Amino acid sequence: MNKNTVLAWATWIMISMGLLLMGLGAFRYDDVAGWGFGAVGLGFFAVAWVFNALKGRV
């Protein structure tokens, strides 16, 4: 496995964890904790975007 493959896997893992956290925030927690889960899910999307941008450059 080369560096680009590792970054691709990391991107998909981060996207799936972001979706999971946003889903928990939207459907499981109705109070302020839901907003926190949603914000962390968006943060996971941002990191996945950076990993995707690094593919081919490292």
9-37 pLDDT, tens digit per residue, is 999 999 999 999 999 999 998 889 999 99
Alpha helix ranges (H) inside the chain: 3-23, 32-54
Please give the pLDDT value at position 19: 96
Please state the domain count of the chain.
Answer: 1
Please give the pLDDT value at position 56: 80
CA dist., res. 13 & res. 32, Å (int): 26
pLDDT band at 41 (very low <50, low <70, confident <90, very high): very high
Handedness of CA 13, 19, 23, 26 (dihedral sign): positive
pTM: 0.85
- Domain region containing 16: 3-54
